[in-house]
Chain A
Amino acid sequence: MIPLSWYLIFAAILFCIGLFGVIARRNLMSVLMCLELMLNAVNINLLSFWSYLYGKDLQALVFVAIIFAAAAAETAVGLALIISVYRRRVTVNANDLDMMKG
């Protein structure tokens, strides 16, 4: 049986890749995709702990399903925002969108 730590390490790597992408990528589309990666890493963590600690219960699966739904909604909103930013500013570069600069 695959030890729990493998799953956790995999999830941590996936999370770091996502985090790096969110921080380093300049294209907002990529940032959005990396955000999805981070969410999925959380899901893997959740599923691993459920499977290893409470194998007979099904409640955790419901949480995961809710996170999927939230992620889908968040993606839809995020895409709409990006498209509307693009229409207005003709760019999706995160560095150019600094109107909130103090």
Chain B
Amino acid sequence: MSMETLVWLIPLPPLLSFAVIILFLGRQKAASHWVALSAAGLSWAASMLVFAFAIQKPNLAAAPILSSIAWLPVGKGSFNVGVQIDPLSSVVLFFVAWTILMIFIYSIGYHNFGQPAGSDDKPGLPPHGAEETHHHETHRVPSIEPLYARFFAFISLFAFAMYTLVVTDNLLALYFGWEVMGLCSYLLIGFWFAKPSARDAAVKAFLTTRIGDMFMLLGLAALYSVTGTLNYREVLSNPAVLDKLASTASPIAALSWAGLIGLLIFMGTVGKSAQFPLHVWLPDAMEGPTPVSAMIHAATMVSAGVYLVIRFYPLMAAGRLDGGQTPPMVAMAFIGAFTAIFAATIAVAQNDVKRVLAYSTISQLGFMIAALGVGAYVAAAFHLVMHAFFKALLFLGSGSVIHGMEHGALHSGDEVDPQNMFEMGGLFRKMPLTFWTFLAGGLSLAGFPFVTAGFWSKDEILSGAFGGGYMVVFITLAAAAFITAFYTMRQVTLVFLGKPRTQAASSASENSLVMTLPLVVLAVFAVAAGWSANWFKPFVGSMLGESGIEASTSLVPLITSLCVSLIGLLAGWLLYRGYEARQPDPLENILGPVYNLLKNKYWIDEFYERVFMRPAAWVANVLVSVWIDKIVLDGILHWIGRAGLSVGRFLRSKFDLPVINTGLETVFGQSPLYVGNGMKRAQTGRVQEYIIMAMIVVILVGVIVILVVPI
């Protein structure tokens, strides 16, 4: 089998797995996860083969692995759909394959496979736990998820869409995978659909990303109508097309076609990667099961948004003068940097262990977008890969913590919120493996110097911003990095260090190997992947033909990232190491009213509620429903109806009743009745009387014939 065929086959196993589970294995728990797992394993193996082949292929950027078929005949030619593995998609394929496989394995443990079914568990609600009798003692133990098979079907479909998005060679197929992922995200956030909060979060995520997707579709259509192709290579590796796009003015004032299409595509990313102002769905998306948060809302789907803008960077930067920025780049730099610091500040005041990570994800995605905005192409791609590993690790770790806390809560009967960090503490003794792996992920996120992947990738971004002379972006990102280190240490300290603050925390226990093994694998990547920086940079940098922005040789960014990381970590530890149960958050004393602002996420949700939701509801309920529909439209219709009714009444009383009924009825209605009634008597029904009548007629006719006809 050739390598091209293998690339085609990568997305296939998860799709088959989805079909098989949804059609045949709806109630079979073990079979469903074996099918899903073997599908993920096959895709993983194929991806690794392709990756190994790709990195050994010389000059991969100029001569990628390509294969395509004519899919749809249009106009004179045909629309081709195919696969393409170049340096960028090969590294993305690498982390996607690993994180998806790990998360599939982890899900088995997370959904309590092997545990008894809870007696009062219902589909659509998280399992409540089951009674188990052991040596004549009854324990509460976690119970298996009622919709176990459905979960594996959905994540299989998701994996299919993600693989499709990565290996494809054109924007249309990417858009297809993008939308299927949006659907899966909706289905999985609302996996516990009987919870109103999960339901709302699912709808919110779907609608919010839809706004971005709409613009992206416009960008796609504009690109197709201007260039006549959506193929990456025909647009992005073709200087003639890029020059034409950059030099032709678009209908929107002062923007070239490249600028307009770039901005539209970037808006798709804003929705998918949860950038300001469309970031509001991602924190709410944490209502879904934790593997979903890890896979869709940290490692792969939100990364797809960044992947899209990295992929289209040549278009975004088309027409860029030396060292300057094009309009899409300005937008990316501004929105990315703002989102990075904005989300980071919100994260410091959250107390839900998953919500902190959600805001952290938004913030880190902002780093990547900002990096692209200042032209640090390789740094953005590098951070994308590193972030996928350590953020998947952190989410899975937090899921492990939550799972352990739930176990402790069931065991001790202590009803606490298993996601509230302030109810935890001291878990490092109870859950050592989770602690060490979480620490590795956390330090990587905080950019702990030299040994972690996060340090190297973040340093790349900072030095890109510094070297390009974008001081505002540089300072903003440095501040965001400081806050990142701070909230990471706050989280680690609150969750794992100190003494247990609740009974649930003190009776929490480590999870089984099926959950901790993926943590260990991802922890290895979260630390060691950063050491590939020297190989990574020229490999992905070759995508641009040139080396992209020259990394600054100055020591300033290096020292900055070193300092912000260490000081942030230290500050987090100092502030929270002495935290006792039921105290207010120490940060509240320092920040005062600002803390409240952060805790309430700058009131953005409330702002949207007032500005968009309520007016929309008012338009629907009052303007359209009452005024336009009930008063105007119904009024016109009722008027027409009444007019018709009165015409009818007039005709009835003046024409129908006197003329038709009384007049014509007598002539045509009554007289046949009289005649009929009279004639009716002849019809006696007695056959012999008919014969008599026949005889009389015969006699009469005979008489007439005899008398009249002369003989």
CB nearest neighbor in B for A19: B695
A100 neighbours in B (Cβ, 8 Å): 683, 685
CB distance from A27 to the nearest CB of B (A): 11
B680 within 8 A of A: yes
A23's contact among B679, B682, B684, B692, by CB below 8 Å, is which? B692
B691 neighbours in A (Cβ, 8 Å): 22-23
B688's contact among A23, A99, A101, A102, by CB below 8 Å, is which? A23
In the bound complex, do residue B686 and residue A102 qualify as a contact, i.e. CB atoms below 8 Å apart?
no
A5 within 8 A of B: no
In the bound complex, do residue A102 and residue B685 qualify as a contact, i.e. CB atoms below 8 Å apart?
yes
What sequence of 0s and 1s flags, for each residue 680-711 of chain B, a beta carbon within 8 Å of any chain A beta carbon? Answer: 11111111100110010000000000000000
A19 neighbours in B (Cβ, 8 Å): 695
B687 neighbours in A (Cβ, 8 Å): 94, 97
In the bound complex, do residue A98 and residue B692 qualify as a contact, i.e. CB atoms below 8 Å apart?
no
CB distance from A52 to the nearest CB of B (A): 21
A95 neighbours in B (Cβ, 8 Å): 686
B683 neighbours in A (Cβ, 8 Å): 100-102
A31 neighbours in B (Cβ, 8 Å): 688
Interface range on chain A: under 10, 10 to 19, 20 to 34, or 35 or more? Answer: 10 to 19
In the bound complex, do residue B684 and residue A101 qualify as a contact, i.e. CB atoms below 8 Å apart?
yes
CB nearest neighbor in A for B677: A102
Residue among B688, B691, B692 having the largest count of chain A Cβ atoms under 10 Å: B688
Alpha-carbon gap, A91 to B339, bound state (A)? 103
What sequence of 0s and 1s flags, for each residue 83-102 of chain A, a beta carbon within 8 Å of any chain B beta carbon? Answer: 00000000000110111111
Alpha-carbon gap, A31 to B695, bound state (A)? 16
Interface of A toward B, CB cutoff 8 Å: 19, 22-24, 31, 94-95, 97-102
Alpha-carbon gap, A99 to B686, bound state (A)? 9
In the bound complex, do residue A102 and residue B692 qualify as a contact, i.e. CB atoms below 8 Å apart?
no
Alpha-carbon gap, A95 to B686, bound state (A)? 6
CB distance from B541 to the nearest CB of A (A): 104
Alpha-carbon gap, A19 to B696, bound state (A)? 13
What are some 15 contacts across the A-B interface (CB < 8 A)?
Answer: A19-B695, A22-B688, A22-B691, A23-B688, A23-B692, A31-B688, A94-B686, A94-B688, A95-B686, A97-B686, A100-B683, A101-B684, A101-B685, A102-B679, A102-B682
7 residue pairs, one from A and one from B, having the closest CB atoms: A102-B683, A98-B685, A101-B685, A102-B680, A100-B685, A23-B688, A98-B686
Alpha-carbon gap, A23 to B688, bound state (A)? 5
Interface range on chain B: under 10, 10 to 19, 20 to 34, or 35 or more? Answer: 10 to 19
CB distance from A67 to the nearest CB of B (A): 20
CB distance from B687 to the nearest CB of A (A): 6
CB distance from B363 to the nearest CB of A (A): 95
Alpha-carbon gap, A98 to B685, bound state (A)? 4
A97 neighbours in B (Cβ, 8 Å): 685-687
CB distance from B710 to the nearest CB of A (A): 24
A24 neighbours in B (Cβ, 8 Å): 688
CB nearest neighbor in B for A22: B691
Alpha-carbon gap, A4 to B679, bound state (A)? 44
A23 neighbours in B (Cβ, 8 Å): 688, 691-692, 695
Interface of B toward A, CB cutoff 8 Å: 679-688, 691-692, 695
CB nearest neighbor in A for B680: A102
CB nearest neighbor in B for A31: B688
Residue among B680, B687, B695 having the largest count of chain A Cβ atoms under 10 Å: B687
Alpha-carbon gap, A23 to B679, bound state (A)? 22
Alpha-carbon gap, A32 to B695, bound state (A)? 18
B686 neighbours in A (Cβ, 8 Å): 94-95, 97-98
In the bound complex, do residue B685 and residue A99 qualify as a contact, i.e. CB atoms below 8 Å apart?
yes
Alpha-carbon gap, A98 to B689, bound state (A)? 11
CB nearest neighbor in A for B691: A23
A22 neighbours in B (Cβ, 8 Å): 688, 691
B684 neighbours in A (Cβ, 8 Å): 98, 101-102
CB nearest neighbor in A for B683: A102
Alpha-carbon gap, A99 to B684, bound state (A)? 9
B681 neighbours in A (Cβ, 8 Å): 102
CB nearest neighbor in B for A100: B685
Alpha-carbon gap, A31 to B690, bound state (A)? 14
CB distance from B684 to the nearest CB of A (A): 6
**A31-B688, A100-B683 known; 10 other A-B pairs, CB under 8 Å?**
A23-B688, A23-B695, A24-B688, A97-B685, A97-B687, A100-B685, A101-B683, A102-B682, A102-B684, A102-B685
CB distance from A96 to the nearest CB of B (A): 9
A101 neighbours in B (Cβ, 8 Å): 683-685
CB distance from B443 to the nearest CB of A (A): 103
CB distance from A39 to the nearest CB of B (A): 15
Alpha-carbon gap, A24 to B692, bound state (A)? 10
Alpha-carbon gap, A97 to B692, bound state (A)? 17
Alpha-carbon gap, A98 to B686, bound state (A)? 5
CB distance from A43 to the nearest CB of B (A): 20
CB distance from B340 to the nearest CB of A (A): 98
A99 neighbours in B (Cβ, 8 Å): 685
CB nearest neighbor in B for A28: B687
Alpha-carbon gap, A19 to B682, bound state (A)? 21
CB distance from B679 to the nearest CB of A (A): 8
Alpha-carbon gap, A19 to B688, bound state (A)? 10
CB distance from A93 to the nearest CB of B (A): 10
Alpha-carbon gap, A38 to B687, bound state (A)? 17
CB nearest neighbor in B for A101: B685
A94 neighbours in B (Cβ, 8 Å): 686-688
CB distance from B673 to the nearest CB of A (A): 13
CB nearest neighbor in A for B690: A100
Alpha-carbon gap, A10 to B621, bound state (A)? 103
CB nearest neighbor in A for B688: A23
CB distance from A95 to the nearest CB of B (A): 6
CB distance from A83 to the nearest CB of B (A): 17
Alpha-carbon gap, A43 to B695, bound state (A)? 20
A102 neighbours in B (Cβ, 8 Å): 679-685
CB distance from B681 to the nearest CB of A (A): 8
CB distance from B505 to the nearest CB of A (A): 93
Alpha-carbon gap, A45 to B8, bound state (A)? 104
CB nearest neighbor in A for B676: A102
CB distance from B690 to the nearest CB of A (A): 9
B679 neighbours in A (Cβ, 8 Å): 102
Alpha-carbon gap, A68 to B164, bound state (A)? 94
Alpha-carbon gap, A29 to B423, bound state (A)? 109
Alpha-carbon gap, A95 to B679, bound state (A)? 20
Alpha-carbon gap, A100 to B692, bound state (A)? 17
Alpha-carbon gap, A102 to B678, bound state (A)? 10
CB distance from A16 to the nearest CB of B (A): 11
CB distance from B688 to the nearest CB of A (A): 5
B692 neighbours in A (Cβ, 8 Å): 23
CB nearest neighbor in B for A26: B688
Alpha-carbon gap, A100 to B686, bound state (A)? 8
